[in-house]
Amino acid sequence: MGTEISEPLILDKESIDDGAGIESELVPEWKDQITIRGLVVSALLGTLFCIITHKLNLTVGIIPSLNVGAGLLGFFFVKSWTGFLTKLGFQVSPFTKQENTVIQTCVVACYGLAFSGGFGSYMIAMDERTYKLIGADYPGNRAEDIKNPGLGWMTGFLFVVSFLGLFSLTPLRKVMVLDYKLTYPSGTATAMLINSFHTHSGAELAGGIGDSCGFDNFPSFGLMLFRNTFYFDFSPTYVGCGLICPHIVNCSVLLGAIISWGFLWPFISAHAGDWYPSGLESNNFKGLYGYKAFVLMEMFFSHNSSKEVFWVVTFSQVFIAIALILGDGLYNLIKIIYISAKEVCKKSTKQSKLPIVNEVIDNESSKVLAEQRKRDDIFLKDRIPTWFAASGYVALAAISTATVPIIFPPLKWYLVLVSYIIAPALAFCNSYGTGLTDWNLSSTYGKIGLFIIASLVGSDGGVMAGLAACGVMMSIVSTAADLMQDFKTGYITLSSAKSMFVSQLLGTAMGCVIAPLTFWMFWTAFEVGSPDGPYKAPYAVIFREMAILGIEGFSELPKHCLALCFGFFIGAVLVNLLRDVTPKEISQFIPIPMAMAVPFYIGAYFAVDMFVGTVILFIWERINQKEAEDYAGAVASGLICGDGIWTIPSAILSILRINPPICMYFGPSLSS
């Protein structure tokens, strides 16, 4: 279900040759990995990254992964500080890669709340400005469903919903990281970067590419396919993901892109007037600028901007993608529960099926096995008891169930409780998908929660209840995926799982304070959400529109949407069953539904990038298998890290409104 990175890549060759492999490396206790200086640096970087995230969230609405930047800047600040103190004659404790990993984890948890907190989406969708943009006379858009941002209630809301995701999947960390060997490409690349900082030779990283100017919108396969998001955007990140992910994952992603953007969405759009209304005027749709930021829809419907067309495909995308994801995720979750229960029964009857391996291995293989055993031992050493995770989740869910309805009265306590009952299963699906493809689809799960809760509550408060439920769901599935990605980073850097968990808790607590404060700076200094201002918050109108449509219930879904969802859900289950019952030489060629689902919603462009990466790796393996095994992970990490590092100066230049003097853009002409 995944691939394991060749462990010697993580160290520089000299240190391995000198016998300084990780099997002899001293690892500090988990408490020593969390330091005061590390927390101070985490708070400073968390503030910086929150500002960057808010800026991007309120303008383009798309947030790149900043994990690599967090690891790099954490190393730079602490190393500079310790070097400065050393020159002054002070005695300082050494800066370890475990402390570096803790800083990165803390920063990611902090700035993650600037996204999952909904400051550019569901939270802004509640305010009066968004209500007026849609129109007071718009059906279902009620003045009663308004809640303007406030520092107090936003901070309180984040505190009561943001910690549950950390407790929801902690017991499954061994399954996700060790058993399934999910790659979590960004987490792996960040870990290899951190490891390279703490060796003698360091690492050379590949350069990144700029924003949406230039060849990242080049119609590689012609304008027709470009309008259907089939193009190579020269993204080092996703080419790197293609190098680091298994071939079957990359091929599954491309297959999903072909099915969805090559056939399904064009087929649905061809049924305008039958499956949904067509030819309706769009000039009465206020806030159309918001949809232009929804890049996939803009390209796909550049010549048909009717909002009905937009919504029918948007809902079809969301629901069909979720159907595939849930079919795959729930199947694997049930399989894990079944296997775990079976193993418990075997242990209780003192049966053991552990194989005894008697094979002759060379010195290099022995070193690799020793390193892997040490990683496994450290990862499993400082256990987080299952009872602690379960009781923590139940206690926090009880507090949140009692508190959230006070902040949002239309969202009744029993609806919050039901959300928390089903949330762990959805969090597993999201974390599993993130491990395969590096895409965190928390906002997609939030939209599903928004639609379902809005339809259950109805016209009397359904908009507000749906938006609040979206926040509850997004917080859980997003933080759970982030934690699992950080567990992967910690596994490769020999960091304690307990220190990862604690640093996530501390980072989340920081984010609950820093994210609202930094957003408040934007809110008080600018007219956030104004179509004429610099911070248009494009997704605010989209989320409120979805909530308004949601109060009409499933009757608002386009024709055959539920039938398609059911078909794709059953198909995902059957494909997984087929993968499990067929011999390995056959099952290795059967696509993974979870990986296929991501391009249904995201678009085909990143599938092309990942496939380019897998083609490069395939050719490399045919030319020199050993070299490809040894260096493909390092090359992939260099591409991902180089692109990730560039996001920091790029975002800062964007905040300062320093734009390139010329922008080259490729697109269809108005007459095409």
Please give the Cα distance from 127 to 320 (Å, whole number).
30
Is the predicted pLDDT of residue 397 greater than 90, yes or no?
Answer: yes
What is the pLDDT at residue 363? 59
Residue 195 has, within 13 A of its CA and on its CB side, a CA count of: 27
Please give the Cα distance from 146 to 310 (Å, whole number).
25
If DSSP states are collapsed to H, E and C, what string results for 221-241? CCHHHHHCCCCCCCCHHHHHH
What is the pLDDT at residue 516? 96
Is the predicted pLDDT of residue 293 greater than 60, yes or no?
Answer: no
Is the predicted pLDDT of residue 304 greater than 70, yes or no?
Answer: no
For residues 291-301, average pLDDT: 33
For residues 87-93, average pLDDT: 85
What is the pLDDT at residue 209? 33
What is the pLDDT at residue 191? 87
Provide the residue type at 510 as one letter.
M
Residue 657 burial by Cβ neighbours in a 10 Å radius (0-12, 13-18, 19+): exposed
Please give the Cα distance from 457 to 468 (Å, whole number).
12
**Mean of all residue pLDDT scores within the chain:** 78
Please give the Cα distance from 596 to 516 (Å, whole number).
36
Terminal C-alpha separation, the chain? 43
Q: Are 420 and 195 in contact (CB under 8 A)?
A: no
What is the pLDDT at residue 303? 35
Q: What is the crossing angle of helices 413-437 and 247-257, to 10°?
A: 120
Higher-confidence residue: 338 or 209?
338
Higher-confidence residue: 311 or 573?
573
What is the pLDDT at residue 68? 76
Q: Where are the alpha helices (DSSP H) in 438-461?
A: 442-457
What is the pLDDT at residue 16? 36
Indicate the pLDDT class of residue 419, thresholds 50, 70 and 90. Answer: very high
For residues 383-403, average pLDDT: 93
What three-state secondary structure class fits 272?
strand
For residues 246-270, average pLDDT: 83
Supply the Cα-derived Rg of the chain in whole angstroms: 24
pLDDT tens readout for residues 185-243: 888 888 888 887 776 444 333 333 334 555 666 677 777 777 777 888 777 877 887 88
11, two tokens: 């160290």
Phi, psi of 458 (to 5 degrees): 90, -165
Q: Are 228 and 266 in contact (CB under 8 A)?
A: yes
Q: Are 592 and 429 in contact (CB under 8 A)?
A: no
Residue 423 has, within 13 A of its CA and on its CB side, a CA count of: 35
Residues 6+ apart with CB under 8 A from 269: 300, 301, 304, 309, 313
What is the pLDDT at residue 275? 65
Beta-bridge partner residues of 229: none
pLDDT tens readout for residues 583-610: 888 888 888 887 887 787 677 887 888 8
Residues 6+ apart with CB under 8 A from 91: none
For residues 575-590, average pLDDT: 85
Please give the Cα distance from 325 to 568 (Å, whole number).
9
Is the predicted pLDDT of residue 5 greater than 80, yes or no?
Answer: no
Please give the Cα distance from 172 to 480 (Å, whole number).
11
Sign of the torsion angle spanned by Cα atoms 596, 599, 604, 605: negative
What is the pLDDT at residue 226? 75
Domain assignments of the chain as residue spans, ordered by start: 36-202+214-295+307-338+391-665
Beta-bridge partner residues of 272: 276
Residue with tokens 């849930």: 326
Please give the Cα distance from 110 to 50 (Å, whole number).
8
Name the DSSP class of 176.
I
Residues 6+ apart with CB under 8 A from 205: 193, 638, 641, 642, 645
Residue 435 C-alpha from the chain's centroid: 9
Higher-confidence residue: 579 or 69?
579
pLDDT tens readout for residues 110-141: 999 998 899 988 999 999 999 998 888 888 88
For residues 83-88, average pLDDT: 86
What is the pLDDT at residue 417? 94
Residue 54 burial by Cβ neighbours in a 10 Å radius (0-12, 13-18, 19+): buried
588, two tokens: 């290795």
Residue 622 CB coordination number (10 Å): 9
Name the DSSP class of 352.
-
**Which of the residue ranges 96-100, 281-285, 333-337, 558-562 would you say has the lowest mean pLDDT?**
281-285
Indicate the pLDDT class of residue 352, thresholds 50, 70 and 90. Answer: very low
Provide the residue type at 77 as one letter.
F
Is the predicted pLDDT of residue 568 greater than 50, yes or no?
Answer: yes
What is the pLDDT at residue 290? 28
Is the predicted pLDDT of residue 161 greater than 90, yes or no?
Answer: yes
For residues 271-281, average pLDDT: 59
Please give the Cα distance from 29 to 381 (Å, whole number).
10
Please give the Cα distance from 168 to 316 (Å, whole number).
29
For 415-422, the CB contacts below 8 A with 24+ separation are 415/453, 415/456, 415/457, 415/465, 415/469, 416/469, 416/472, 419/449, 419/453, 419/469, 419/472, 419/473, 420/164, 420/393, 420/472, 420/476
Q: Are 610 and 254 in contact (CB under 8 A)?
A: yes
Q: How far is CA 387 from each of CA 168, 341, 393, 497, 546, rounded to the nearest angstrom?
A: 12, 16, 10, 16, 38
Indicate the pLDDT class of residue 178, thresholds 50, 70 and 90. Answer: confident
For the entire predicted model, the pTM comes to 0.75
Please give the Cα distance from 652 to 413 (Å, whole number).
42
Higher-confidence residue: 366 or 48?
48
pLDDT tens readout for residues 508-544: 999 999 999 999 988 988 888 888 777 888 788 878 8
pLDDT tens readout for residues 28-66: 899 999 999 999 999 999 998 898 888 878 876 667 677
